Each structure stands twice: as C-alpha cells, then as structure tokens.
Structure 1
Amino acid sequence: MALRCLLVDDSARFLQAAKALLEREGLVVDIASTVPDALRRAGAFRPDVVLIDIDLGDQSGFDLARRLDEHRFDDRDDTNGPGIIMVSTHQREDFEELIADSPALGFLAKSALCAGAVHELLLGAPGQS
C-alpha cells in the first residue's frame, strides 16, 4: 500500500511541484495551504505522514504540528497519528531548537524533498537533511 502524504504549504507553486514529484515517486499526496484546511484534510485523508512548511505565512507550521500530534483517528490501527516532518527553504540550524521541541520526526530542506527522504525519516534512519 502506498504511503499517504499530506503536504501543507502556503505556496501554491510549491504545492503543485512537490505533489507532482512525490506522486511520480509512488506516494499518494493531498495538499493544504492553511492550518484549518490541513486539519480538515487530515481528518478526511488520514495521512501516514504530514509534511509541514515551517512558515505558513501568518500561521506557524509548529502550531499545526502540535495540533496534528494531538489528533487521533478513531479507527486507525495505531494511536500515534501521522508522522510529522517539517520542511523549509531555510537551513535546519535556523530552527534546531524549535524542531527539537516539536512533535516532528525531523526536518527536510525543500531542495532535498523526495519520497526516499520521507521514508528515511519515518523509519528513523540517520541523515536528516
């Protein structure tokens, strides 16, 4: 079964490009551009992983990560909810403490985004970009 991924970013251009890339690499992708939209889509789509842009315009990707971490699906086999990965055009070092204090499994630079990198982070493999 293909990995279900919810991609959250306030850039429509990035959403479309990243969605196309990840789908070519075998992921099933849904997209959202705001926190309320992401919360609605997460409930309906039930993703395995959520990729969240750190800077969602006037909204915080970290706030969304915390809210999703608290979200549980009633009929899922696991009770942990979706894995969360923060993404940004900025360097990991710029947000090191915030990432460590968040429920995110890790961080990916947008330039390194690919299905393989997502799988590595979900499996807890070293080498976070």
Structure 2
Amino acid sequence: MITLLLADDNPRMLAALVQLLQREFVIVDALASGEEVLAKSDTVCPDIILLDISLGDLTAFQVSDQLRRRGCPSRIVFLSVHENPEFVRAAIEIGAFGYVFKSQISRDLVNALHAVAEGNQFFSNSET
C-alpha cells in the first residue's frame, strides 16, 4: 500500500484528512507543523508527503526545499486554499508532484495521490 505523511496546522482538517485517506493508504503520521515534518523525515520517508501550503511555522515551499536538500525521496503534494496559478507554478518549480485545492478535496485528493504514487503529476483545475 501507498504510505503517506500528512501535515496541516488545522486540527480539524488534519482529522478529516486522516478519516478520508486511512482506508486506501497507510498513514505513517499526521503532523501539525513543518518542523515536525522535517524531524519525522529523519526517520521515515513515506511514498508521499501531503503538505498544507501554510503550516504556521514554515510554508510547504520551505519544507519541500529542506526535504530535497536532505535527500528525502518522498513525492510532495501541496494542499491549499490558494487557487492562484502562480502558487501552482511555484509548486511545480520547486518539484512538487501535485497541488490540490482544498475546495476540490472530495473530487481530486484520492485521485491525485494515486496518480503521484504511479509517478505522474496531478494539479487541480480551478474550473469546476
């Protein structure tokens, strides 16, 4: 099964993500900060790390950059309320495999994670 590390600084969102994903994926941890993700990555590198774009202490961009510098091979997927194309473009430039809009979680998230696990990229479309 596909292993996931989840990170979102909103406890309700984090709990909802666990509830949504735990049937299809192995969730190795659900964390509330970028620093926690970086600390966890020293011991665990799951298939995919799902990062809220704003983690309070660090942004998903900063966490992704640090993970790459440390040699963590996990594929990164951003989760965000920001549907601005510039954010998506920046995620692509930093090497993210996916970017899912929070407004489209029910439609896109599971599909995105499966696509990324297969080595593909997935980016939510702002058109509904």
TM-score category by the smaller chain?
0.7 to 0.9
The answer for the alignment partner of 1:120 in structure 2 is 115
Contact 2:34 2:57 in 1 (8 A): no
User: Structure 2 CA distance, aligned partners of 1:3 and 1:121?
Assistant: 10
Once the 2 structures are TM-superposed, how far is the Cα of residue 55 of structure 1 from its aligned partner? 1.2
User: Structure 2 CA distance, aligned partners of 1:125 and 1:82?
Assistant: 13
The two structures have a TM-score, normalised by structure 1, of 0.80
In the comparison of the two structures, how many residue pairs are matched?
A: 120
User: Structure 1 CA distance, aligned partners of 2:55 and 2:94?
Assistant: 16
The answer for the alignment partner of 1:107 in structure 2 is 99
The answer for the alignment partner of 1:85 in structure 2 is 77
Q: 1:127 to 1:115 in 2, by over 3 A?
A: closer
Structure 2 counterpart of 1:117, which letter?
A
Once the 2 structures are TM-superposed, how far is the Cα of residue 124 of structure 1 from its aligned partner? 4.5
Q: 1:15 to 1:70 in 2, by over 3 A?
A: same
Q: Alpha-carbon deviations, 1:61-103, whole Å to 9, x = none?
A: 1000111122236xxxxxxx10011110221525133213212
The answer for the alignment partner of 1:76 in structure 2 is none
Once the two structures are aligned, what percentage of the paired residues are identical? 28
The two structures have a TM-score, normalised by structure 2, of 0.81
Q: Alpha-carbon deviations, 1:22-80, whole Å to 9, x = none?
A: 002x101111111221112223332110011111124211000111122236xxxxxxx
User: Structure 1 CA distance, aligned partners of 2:121 and 2:93?
Assistant: 18
Structure 2: runs of 5+ lacking an equivalent? none
Backbone CA RMSD of aligned residues: 2.0
